[in-house]
Amino acid sequence: MRIEDVRQHPTTPLTSPAYAPTVPRFTDREYLNVVYRTDPDALRAVVPEPLQIGEPLVRFEVMKMGDVSGFGPYTEAGQAIQVLFEGERGEYLHAMYLDNFPATASGREVSAYPKVLGSPRLYVDHGALVGTLDHGTLRVATATMGYKHRALDMDTARDQITVPTFMLKSVPGYHRHMRVQELVRTQITDVVVKKAYTGPARLQLFAHVLAPLADLPVREVVSASHILTDLTLAPVEPVFDYLKGYAQ
């Protein structure tokens, strides 16, 4: 294979890529969001500067992807922390767990999503919307919300989905130094909200050394939402370079 041909293959393995070279479109992406108040000291231990913490709020989310071009259906769960960057309010994506390897590899390599493999589920059980996350054979999170108790304003739902998000992109080199270490920003703009509801909710997190969601403990559940959307993820843009001026 010629050098110019190698350059046309952006993923590994070279001849059997881990994910399709396409921009995925999400159809019928279903969210369960539970926003809760946590320990400010716990947030300060995990949120990287120059992001700033205001109110100590975390959003636990479970997303059921009904149809995704290039990946197929899958489910994802994680934590997003409310932050400030240069006066702009947004969320720092702290952890994401999903049951689809191509989406995991693409999220980490093409963008900066902090994705690892896990076993999340989203389903309805006797009048409750239930979101769970397992790591291996152990339960690490259980969220419940009253199923379609009250309609949620569509604009409010859209604002929840399209909040700016920040992530840490780290690419190690071959000799114990970093090749890339950047804070990046993205924001979903191509979104259609189909349905949106709110209602009472509860959230339990269980300690696990490899899935430490409980390190951001639940002090108070603030709000919850159940949203159905179509959307396309926007590309990320670097906003801060941790290695600038650093002699490697």
| Catalytic sites, residue numbers | 115
Q: Is the dihedral of CA 137, 146, 30, 184 positive or negative?
A: negative
Q: Is the dihedral of CA 7, 12, 16, 18 positive or negative?
A: negative
Bridge-partner residues for 83, per DSSP?
90
CA 184-190-240 angle, to 5 degrees, is 10
Q: Are strands 150-151 and 190-198 parallel, antiparallel or unpaired?
A: antiparallel
In 106-135, which positions are buried (b, 16+ CB within 10 angstroms) versus exposed (e)? bbbbbbbbbbeebbbebeeeeebbbbbbbb
- Distance (Å, rounded) from C-alpha 77 to C-alpha 63? 6
